[in-house]
Copies of this chain bind each other. A is one copy, B any other.
Amino acid sequence: MTPLEPVANTTKLELAETITAAAAAFPTFAAATPASRATMLDAVADAIEDAVDELVPLAIEESHLTHTRLTGEVKRTTFQLRTFSAALREGQYLEAIIETAAAAGPLGPTPDLRRMLLPVGPVAIYAASNFPFAFSVAGGDTASALAAGCPVVLKAHPGHPQLSRRTAEIVTKALDSAGAPAGTFGIVHGYDVGVDLLSDERITGGSFTGSIPGGRALFDIANARPTPIPFYAEMGSINPVFVTSAAVHSRGHAIATDYIASFTLGVGQFCTKPGVLFLPSGHGLRERLVSAAAEVAPTPMLTAGIADRFGHLVDELGRQPGVDTLVAGSAVEGGWSPSLLITDADALRADPAALLEERFGPTSLIVEYQHESELAALAGLFGGNLTATVHGEESDLGSLGPLIDAVTGKAGRVLWNGWPTGVTVSPAMQHGGPYPATAAALHTSVGTTAIRRWLRPVCYQSMPQRLLPPALRDANELGLPRRVDGVLTSEAMA
């Protein structure tokens, strides 16, 4: 295959033009009805679907992920776009509240007040490496921002520049054909450009998926601006899994097999990879764990740089006091087979910071514990996580309350007898957790409530009908669900 051409870094002038276009697009794009923005999102989903045979090969070449995985990821990406278009058509996301004037409220007369959420303005989105579709150019962050009515300036991930360039062309063309104003979507390439983008005063919000150092650096820039802006950084997560003795007894073999499958899925390059597994000492699963890991072939990682760093991180962990290597991964060019390490609860307590670092790639650490009563305290050693999982049996339910409480304090999603990889796209999902999992534990980057990150409330007081946004007029010409004097209704006001 002919090597792909590199994509040139965006110049400062091009960046300025892109931001100017986004700022110019904002008023028109923001004023579009939710239903018309839904049509635009559907157009993007259709166009990506139509281009799947062109895009997936590009993605395979740049990311080294499999055809099956990437084809599935395109489905997820178009599903995300269509989920947001459905949310726009439903309209509840606007949180419209109308309170008519009252002559005798509890504190005296009150005026007519009408509140709804409005888009914040043009936003900067930093694409991730590990989901070249679902968390990249047309991924969930872009879909949620466009749904909200915010033009997007997308900073491409250098791991898949040609795919990014081509996806951006498709997104731009689809938005254009569906009637979005020019500048609604723009893409930029290059490290310095990414920093300059976030510093531009016309940018009103941002999001990021990637490493802790990268996310924190951008978070700090966003907050140090003369005008700080919200920055939703999804960064690092270890996703601990706690297994009880009863669970080992009843289905230890399956747990071992599924654990290996989960932490090696996508070559371990998932934010939700189970990085630590707690097993009762004497679990008797070593042989099964080793043989299951040995069955996973060495596989190229997203980039050579990521594979290099991964090797160093695993070496470093293997040298920690009390940590043994159960399975040593072997390298191929730009990739690895799984590494599995093992330690005990005492070693973890002795240096939790060293042992509980995120290691992006196909490795995980088993921690053997003595008593289930230790687990809640061990959970307390963790920082914030996207997920935490408990495997147990009916007989454990009476004693696991403290562990569930402890992990709920540390994670955005708490699983029972499952595996954290595989994130359902739905309104009940929470993908975000206490720092450093995200710098925005109050928000999610997956599921329809992700739209809230790009919306701010505005209240109109005693405003004439003609000057109100259509969503708040008596006639309810858009047919939106609204809370009118305390009652949820989609009807016009009498």
The residues of A with any CB-CB pair to B shorter than 8 Å are: 27, 72, 75-76, 79, 97-99, 105-107, 110-111, 113-115, 118, 120-121, 219-220, 223-224, 227-228, 230, 383-384, 394, 397-398, 400-401, 404-405, 408-409, 411-418, 424-430, 432, 434-436, 439, 441-444, 449, 452-453, 455-464, 466-467, 483, 488
Contact = CB atoms under 8 A, between A and B. Distances in A.
A113 B418 CA distance: 12
Contacts of A409: 121
Contacts of A458: 408, 411-414, 430
Contacts of A417: 462
Contacts of A456: 412, 434, 441-442
Contacts of A394: 464
A462 B118 CA distance: 35
A80 B429 CA distance: 32
A107, A442, A443: most-surrounded residue (chain B CB, <10 A)? A442
Contacts of A488: 488
Contacts of A110: 424, 426
A69 to B, nearest CB: 13
Given A426-B110, A441-B456, A414 B228 contact: no
Given A439-B228, A467-B416, A113 B462 contact: no
Nearest to A413: B459
Contact of A467 (B115, B401, B427, B459): B401
Given A435-B227, A456-B441, A429 B111 contact: no
The 3 A-B residue pairs whose C-beta atoms are closest, nearest first, are: A430-B459, A113-B428, A223-B223
A376 to B, nearest CB: 11
Contacts of A426: 99, 105, 110, 113
Given A228-B435, A412-B456, A461 B418 contact: yes
Nearest to A462: B416
A486 to B, nearest CB: 8
B462 A418 contact: yes
Q: Is the interface of A mostly helix, strand, loop or mixed?
A: mixed
Contacts of A79: 106-107
Contacts of A98: 428
Contacts of A115: 427-430
A215 to B, nearest CB: 11
Given A424-B113, A442-B457, A107 B463 contact: no
Contacts of A436: 227
Contacts of A114: 428
A295 B432 CA distance: 57
A401, A405, A416, A439: most-surrounded residue (chain B CB, <10 A)? A416
A25 to B, nearest CB: 14
A103 B184 CA distance: 38
Given A97-B428, A428-B98, A404 B467 contact: yes
A68 to B, nearest CB: 13
Nearest to A472: B428
Nearest to A387: B461
A432 B461 CA distance: 14
A230 B442 contact: yes
Contact of A105 (B228, B424, B452): B424
Nearest to A205: B442
A461 B412 contact: no
Contacts of A97: 427-428
A467 B408 CA distance: 11
A436 B466 CA distance: 30
Contact of A457 (B111, B230, B449): B449
A122 B469 CA distance: 39
Contacts of A408: 118, 458
Contacts of A113: 424, 426, 428-429
A439 B118 CA distance: 17
A444 B458 CA distance: 10
A111 B467 contact: no
11 contacts: A76-B107, A99-B427, A110-B426, A115-B429, A227-B384, A414-B458, A414-B459, A418-B462, A442-B455, A442-B456, A488-B488
A27 B405 contact: yes
B430 A457 contact: yes
A365 B114 CA distance: 29
Contacts of A453: 442
A463 B427 contact: no
A401 to B, nearest CB: 7
A230 B219 CA distance: 12
A416 B463 contact: yes
A397 B467 CA distance: 7
